[in-house]
Every structure is written in structure tokens, then in C-alpha cells.
Amino acid sequence: MNPATPDTPPLTTRLLHAGDRPAIEHFFLAEMDDVSLYWRFFRTMTPMTVNAYVAQMRFDSGCLAYGAFFGERLVGVAEISAIPGSESCTENRPGALSCGELGIAVSNQLHHKGIGRQLLSRLLDDAWTRGLKRIQLSSLRDNRPMLALATRLGFKALREESGEVIMQALRPADWPQVVPRRMKQAAAHATEREINCSAKIVNARCR
């Protein structure tokens, strides 16, 4: 569903990059209220902590970020970042993010209009195509919109810990993957390794 009216431009989604940092910071501070920020980050956020969070976003193979826009206005941000402390995810090495943690937020005034779904769907499509195999998220148990959105897009609950629901989605087995040539060559010499992402989820951070 596109919530645009005849007066608003259509919703578009695109990859975010380092040059979008001011817009992302403005989005978190101007488009979200304190409660939504808490649901997104699991802690009270201030302009200073938002600034620090956005400053450390990497926009490279360790983090995949998409934005939803009405014209120039950023109205949603969805990110997949390396799971903190995920050494146990054997393929999470530079240039080959394989397991990631999801974080998503949509402008407060625009909730329940299909933006989250469109944005997350686009992000997942790209993530699977880039070769990610497993995406995890944590949501507060009372965050019904997030649980509904994740379930709708194929996430399954793994467990509950301290009021948080941990969910995961696996890349569809038949998803066409674009494999860079150098990875194909390496794969020809490597034995199959099992992915094991058992790291405890703290929160989505791009490190």
C-alpha cells in the first residue's frame, strides 16, 4: 500500500549512505517520539546518543541500511547490522556479512500505512540477494506492530528473554544469490561450514 495522496509524492525506498547521516539524525529526532525511540533502541535516547548512534553507522558490508522517502523527506529507516559479538557466526568477516540483526523505525505520524512493510520487504530482498543467510531481531513483547510486521514478512519467534521476543528469518532456499567471482573461487577451495549465530542480541548497532 502506498500512503501517498494526490498532494504527496509516491513513497520511494533506496539504500542509505554516509551522506544521509544528517537526514537520518533528523529522522530519529524530529519524526519519532520518545516512546518510539525507546521501542527502537531499548533505552532512553537523547539528541547526544542519537548523534553518536548515527555517527557510528558504517554503510558498508557490516551494515545494510535502507530509507523510505516522500520526496526528500526521510520517513523510515531499516538497518541490518552485524550481530554484536558474533564471532561465532563463522562467515561474519569483513566483506561477507552473513548473519545480521534488524532494526526498523517509521515516522510516528505515518504508522500503520504500510511503510514499514514496504521498507522491510525491500531490505530483506536485498539482504538475501547479497548472500545473508539469517536475520535476527528483538522486539519488546508489547510491541504489537513490530511483532505483526515481522511475522507478516516471515520471521519466526525463537525465544523470549527479559520481556523481549527474539525472532529470526532465514533466506528462502531458492533465493537467487549474486556471488562475487572472488567468493566463487574461494568457495571452490573451501569446505562447507555451518553457520552458528548464537550471540546474545543486545541491540542493532552498526559496528
Ligand X SMILES: CC(C)(COP(=O)(O)OP(=O)(O)OC[C@H]1O[C@@H](n2cnc3c(N)ncnc32)[C@H](O)[C@@H]1OP(=O)(O)O)[C@@H](O)C(=O)NCCC(=O)NCCS
Closer Cβ to ligand X, 148 or 179, answer by number? 148
Q: Which three cell numbers stand for residue 55?
A: 555517527
Closer Cβ to ligand X, 62 or 76, answer by number? 76
Closer Cβ to ligand X, 28 or 128, answer by number? 28
Q: Which helix (H) or strand (E) holds 21?
A: helix 21-26
Q: Which residue is nearest to ligand X (CB)?
A: 116
Residues of this chain that bind ligand X (CB under 6 A): 36, 39-40, 103-106, 111-117, 139, 143-146, 148-149, 152
Closer Cβ to ligand X, 97 or 102, answer by number? 102
86-93 contact pairs (CB < 8 A, 24+) = 86/197, 86/199, 87/199, 88/196, 88/197, 88/198, 88/199, 89/195, 89/196, 89/197, 89/199, 90/193, 90/194, 90/195, 90/196, 91/133, 91/193, 91/195, 92/197
Closer Cβ to ligand X, 90 or 164, answer by number? 164
Q: Least distance from C-beta 76 to ligand X, angstroms?
A: 7
Are 58 and 65 within 8 A, CB to CB? no
Q: What are the counts of helices (DSSP H) followed by strands (DSSP E) for the chain?
A: 6, 7
Q: Least distance from C-beta 123 to ligand X, angstroms?
A: 12
Q: Least distance from C-beta 133 to ligand X, angstroms?
A: 20
Pick from 103, 68, 98, 102: which is nearest to 86 by CA? Answer: 98
Q: Least distance from C-beta 186 to ligand X, angstroms?
A: 33
Q: Least distance from C-beta 162 to ligand X, angstroms?
A: 15
Q: Which helix (H) or strand (E) holds 14?
A: strand 11-15
Closer Cβ to ligand X, 140 or 195, answer by number? 140
Are 65 and 59 within 8 A, CB to CB? yes
Q: Least distance from C-beta 187 to ligand X, angstroms?
A: 33
